[in-house]
Structure 1
Amino acid sequence: MRDLVVTGHRARFLGRQFPVAIGRNGITTDKREGDGATPAGVWRLMEGGYRADRLARPDAPFPLYPTGPRDLWSDAPDAPDYNHLVRAPYAPSHERLRRADPLYDVFVVTDWNWPEATPGKGSAIFVHCWRGPLRPTAGCLAFRPEHLRWILDRWTPRSRVIVRPQS
């Protein structure tokens, strides 16, 4: 099976090991909005975005869209479009998808609490580019850009992300 298995700060995919950044508060089995933890569980990669002004569209078996300056992701649990793509101007709390840093040069939306979102159970749980080795995320999984591209090049519609709880 072509599953990406994450255990702590290590990921395994197709026999290769990769360093991976996880949430600043580790891995949790009880994900809450803003807790800084990566949710344990089995996820699917659904769709994503990339900075077309910085790089070519990565190969992937799901849609990847170029992100623009008005593209945002709602992280406001009380908003009707919580944990979904929204466009600026947008008053509730959100994340910008087109960033000055390279974090979201390539990002993939997982099915963690998406598309049917339960308010407060976590938003924007993405797979994306990292800040650097062991630099934590707010709850996502993050990889070196070249590792993320290698993984996406070999991803299949049946592949899964398996995040193991910390013991």
Structure 2
Amino acid sequence: MTRQDMILTPRGIRFLGRIFPCSIGKTGVTTHKREGDGATPAGILHITGLWYRPDRLAPPAPWARPVGPGDLWCDDPGHPAYNHHARAPLPASHERLRRSDPLYDLILTTDWNWPDAIPGWGSAIFLHQWRRPRFGTEGCIAFSRAHLLRIAALAIPGTRLIIPNALAGQ
């Protein structure tokens, strides 16, 4: 592990010498991630993308991509686009990346079950804004807006996100 790694601890994500409080999956951390289980997957993930709402934020880093009205993320295990960015219209189950609430104003995507997605192993494991402190997610890791902006400005593609197996079941 290095200082440039993001490491989940019981107090939050440790990154570049700081602890950023966060929320994880409402059912905790798991070593057996499945679609819809509400758990954050244990393992070593990598940051693969950075998306932002250009109507609400300035680009937080030079590599950030704007989220448009037709941007989606497919969460249908039976669809060829499972756990990938997609565009509307998409007849399969999906999440809209452009939401009315601020949760996805800024999204860091990970390589959990990506790019070669195995159906049912989980999708859309993102870093995004939380609803409120410690409010469980569907499996993502969520932060305050200020902390997420800071993380997005400092992370680069390939930054490791380490979610220790030791936290599974807690």
Interval containing the TM-score (normalised by the shorter chain): over 0.9
Deviations 1:22-61 (A, max 9, x none): 000000000000000000011110113110000100126x
Structure 1 stretches lacking a partner, 5+ long? none
Number of aligned residues:
165
* Residue from 35, 38, 45 that aligns with 2:37: 35
Q: What is the letter of the counterpart of residue 108 of structure 2? A: V
Deviation, 1:7, is: 2.2
Q: Which residue of 2 aligns with 1:87?
A: 87
1:1-167 equivalences under 5 Å are 1=2, 2-8=4-10, 10-59=12-61, 63-157=63-157, 159-165=159-165, 166=167
CA–CA distance in structure 2, aligned partners of residues 7 and 45 of structure 1: 18
Deviation, 1:158, is: 5.4
Structure 2 stretches lacking a partner, 5+ long? none
CA–CA distance in structure 1, aligned partners of residues 158 and 109 of structure 2: 16
Change (3 A) 1:28 1:81: same
Percentage of identical aligned residues: 53
Deviation, 1:17, is: 1.1
CA–CA distance in structure 2, aligned partners of residues 157 and 93 of structure 1: 27
Deviation, 1:86, is: 1.1
CA–CA distance in structure 1, aligned partners of residues 121 and 10 of structure 2: 21
Deviation, 1:147, is: 0.7
Change (3 A) 1:86 1:143: same
Q: Provide TM-score, normalisation by structure 1.
A: 0.93
CA–CA distance in structure 2, aligned partners of residues 123 and 158 of structure 1: 18
